[in-house]
Every structure is written in structure tokens, then in C-alpha cells.
Amino acid sequence: MSSSTELTEKKVFLLKSLDGVIFEVEESVAVQLEVIRELIEGDCARPFISLYNVTSEILALVIEYCKHHAETCSGGTSATIADEDLKTFDNEFMNVDENILLELCSAADYLDIKSLFELTCRTLASLIKDRTIIEVRKMFNVENDFSVVEEKAVRKEFAWAFK
Amino acid sequence: MLKKKPSSVTSSPPLSSSPPSSPYQNDAVSDDAYAMMGPTLPSDLITSILLRLPVKSLGKFKCVSKQWLHTISDPHFVSMHRSLSLHNPNLLLLKKSPVLQEAHMKKCTRIDVCSLNFDGSCKNLEFSLYLNDDAKYIEMLPSKWDIICFVSENGFYVCNPSKQEMLKLPEASCCTSEEVNAGMGYVKERDEYVLVHLFDKSLDIHVD
């Protein structure tokens, strides 16, 4: 393993992204990724863990998120201050382009990071709640498979939602 | 209630030697188009996002596609949505005021409804409902789930704030006592709302 292991006596793991970039993360960060925790427990985490579904751009963000959460939770600050700190961090962390948000959501699901999955789903939900149907179709690449008559009927049935 | 376990994606260990599979269905679009259109999420992720939307947006998004209509109308989705909403409650503020109208018009009462995040940081909904009732006292009753119940000397009303709808219930009892002991409940097993109204017949006011 890398020399930092011997120096700090902290276990580190290597994560390899889809595009081949290798990230070194400490155990406290790695175990927040549920899939990786399982691999570590099963002693299958050597020499590195390949994450085929996550690009280096997204993996860097995911690691930043997990690192901040791991540090805040073990920092010895009171629960209230830690909560406030995480809230502020999460808010700033979610202030990214919506395509990045979609990819983060997908990565959080794949890596099984419950808090990040919840955060990205909620952020995406509040982002789209006031959007028009056409905007939402475009954002999620959904094809409109209603005929004109069908769409009119559905719109009429749920007219209360368009008020 | 627990959220549905994210399916398939996590079940195969990342170390497997199978060829890299993209989490996105590219639908045969070129890389350029892909970059412009953004990623396409698998349907279970879209469902997870939809589960966190307010009811009004869900009603609107039923018109997005047949698949979305099917997903949002699914009873399992509806019950998951309800359970999830309970973990993220809103504060509902109500203000009622009589509406002064022209003499020839029916008198009514306006109820202003405002819903806020629990910490008051964000306003989610704001609208007014009109009750064709000019009673002096219109009271809110203990209510459950997503329905608010009101009572006046003229009868019972239920309001669905998500749909911004108000409905007068059919007259049931002949209770005329001024004090109303009633409340709205919800029977999960039967998916029914129940209004329980307790009254003492001996308190009825009889006018000869």
C-alpha cells in the first residue's frame, strides 16, 4: 500500500473511476460508500476498487462530500453545531449544474450513500417542482407519447394541478 | 417507511470483470447530443425524485408521458409518497375572514392557507379557499393525514390543501348543540377517512 499508510497508520483505499483516475481515500470516508464498506468487510478491496459507473469528475465530488461528512461527524463538536455545519455544506454542495446533480444522484444510488441520495433527490425535486411539462420532458429526456387528444384529456382531468 | 432499495445498480460488485456498463441509457444518441441533453436517469431514480415532489407538481407531471402517469397513479407510489411526506412535515397556517360582498351575492368566508417548511425557511404553498358559509364561528377540527376538517353551525367541510379543494359533507346528524366534539381520522387498512362526531342529545336545543 502507499507510504501514507505507514506514516499515519490510517488505512487508505484506492478508488478507480470509469475514466481510470485513482483516488486515495481514508477508511472513514470509504465506509460511507455502502458498496465499498461491503467490499472492505469482505476483504475484496485490494489493490484498488474499480467504479465503472462513476466518472472522475463525479467521484471527486462524492469524495469531497463523504470527507466533509466524516470530518464533521468525528470532529468532537456538539451535535447542533455539526448539524448546522452539514446543512450549510450540503446547501453549497448542491449549488451545481443540474446535469451534475443528475449524475451525483445516480452515483449516490450506485455507491449506496443514503444521505447523498436523499439530498440529491430532494434538491432535484425542488428544482423541478415549478417547471413546465415541456421543461421536465427535456430535462429527463422523456418522449411525449400521448396523442394530442389523450394529453388534452389528462390535462383536463388534473386541471387542479395547473391552477 | 423505508425508501425502496435502489435496485440492480448496486447489486453487482464493482470489482466484477464484466464490461463497464453505463448507468445511463444513451438511446443511441451521439456523444455530442448526450452532452447537450444531459444524462437519462433509470426509471427507479426518476421515481425516487418524484416521490419527493409536492402533490400539485405530481398532478401536473402526470401529463409528461404515459409512463409518468402510470408511475404517479400507482397506489404503491401514492402510499410511499404519503409516508415520505410524514418525515418532512410542513407547517400549515390558516386565517379566516368574512368576505364582504355585494348585497345580492351569497355571503361567504375566505380561508387563507399558507404552508411553510417546518423551520419556517421556505414558503411552499399559498392560496385562498372560499366557503359558502357566513357562520360567525368556523372552526378547524383535529385532522389527520392530508385532509383538513372545518365545522360551522351549518355543517362540516373537508379541505384538501394539496389540491386546493373544499367540499361540504352531506348533513349527517341532527345535532344542534353548540359545542362540537368531532375529529377526522384515517383508517389505513381501508384507505378511508372517518369523521367522528360525539354529541349529547340531551343538550339539543329545542325551539317550539
Nearest Cβ partner for A53 among B22, B37, B46:
B22
Least Cα separation, residue A146 to chain B (angstroms): 6
For residue B96, which of B58, B72, B131 has the smallest C-alpha distance? Answer: B131
Tens of pLDDT, residues B152-169:
777 888 888 777 778 888
Cis-peptide into A47, omega within 30 deg: yes
| Burial state string for B110-122 with b = 16 or more CB within 10 A and e = fewer than 16 | ebebbbbeeeeee
Q: What is the pLDDT of residues A124-144, one digit of tens each?
A: 999 999 999 999 999 999 999
Dihedral, CA of residue A117, residue A121, residue A122 and residue A127, to nearest 10: 140
Whether B89 and chain A come into contact, CB under 8 Å, resolves to no
Q: Tell me whether residues B14 and A144 touch, CB distance under 8 A.
A: no
pLDDT at A122: 92
pLDDT 10s digits, A65-112: 999 888 887 766 677 888 888 889 999 999 999 999 999 999 999 999
DSSP for chain A reads: --HHHHHH---EEEEE-TTS-EEEEEHHHHTTSHHHHHHHHTT---S-EE-TT--HHHHHHHHHHHHHHHHHHTS---HHHHHHHHHHHHHHHT-S-HHHHHHHHHHHHHHT-HHHHHHHHHHHHHHHTT--HHHHHHHTT------HHHHHHHHHHTGGGG-
Question: Given an 8 Å threshold on Cβ–Cβ distance, is B58 in contact with A106?
Answer: no
> pLDDT above 90 covers what percent of chain B?
14
Looking at chain B, the whole-number percentage of residues with pLDDT higher than 70 is: 67
Q: Does the distance separating the beta carbons of B38 and A141 come in below 8 Å?
A: yes
pLDDT at res. B47: 95
A67-72 long-range Cβ contacts below 8 angstroms, 24+ apart? A67/A25, A67/A29, A68/A93, A69/A32, A69/A115, A70/A26, A70/A28, A70/A29, A70/A32
CB pairs under 8 A between A and B: 131
Measured between alpha carbons, how far is B207 from A39 in angstroms, rounded to an integer? 80
Interchain CB distance below 8 Å, A154 and B14 = no
A contacts of B49 (beta carbons < 8 Å): 105, 121, 124-125, 128
User: A144 vs B118, which has greater pLDDT?
Assistant: A144
Q: What is the mean pLDDT of residues B112-122?
A: 77
ipTM rounded to 2 decimals: 0.86
* Contacts with B23 from chain A: Cβ below 8 Å: 53, 106-107, 110
Q: What is the mean pLDDT of residues B31-43?
A: 57
**Interface contact flag, B61 A136, Cβ < 8 Å:** yes
**Which has the higher per-residue pLDDT, B63 or B141?**
B63
- pLDDT of amino acid A58: 94
The pLDDT of residue B44 is above 70: yes
Distances (CA, A) of B71 to A124, A135, A162, B53, B56: 18, 19, 19, 13, 15
Looking at CA atoms only, how far is residue A160 from chain B in angstroms?
A: 6
Residue A61, C-alpha cell as written in the block: 465530488
Chain-chain contact of A102 with B66 (C-beta, under 8 angstroms) = no
User: Is this structure's pTM higher than 0.80?
Assistant: no
Probe site for chain B from A17, A124, A128, A148 (most B CB atoms < 10 A): A124
Highest mean pLDDT (candidates A26-30, A64-68, B198-202): A64-68
Q: How many CB atoms lie within 10 A of CB B65?
A: 20
Domains and CATH numbers, chain A: 12-129 (3.30.710.10), 133-163 (no CATH)
| Average pLDDT rounded to a whole number, residues B176-197 | 76
How many other CB atoms are there within 10 angstroms of residue B109's CB atom? 20
**pLDDT at residue A27 is higher than 90:** no
- State whether residue B64 sits within 8 Å of chain A by CB: yes
Q: Which residues of B touch A38 (CB under 8 A)?
A: 13
pLDDT band at B141 (very low <50, low <70, confident <90, very high): confident
pLDDT (tens digit per residue) in B45-96: 999 999 999 888 999 999 999 999 999 999 899 889 988 887 777 777 878 7
Structure confidence at residue B198 (pLDDT): 77
Question: Is the Cβ pair A141, B22 closer than 8 Å?
Answer: no
Asked if B64 and A160 come within 8 Å (Cβ–Cβ), the reply is no
Query: With bands split at pLDDT 50, 70 and 90, how would you rate the model's confidence at B106?
Result: low
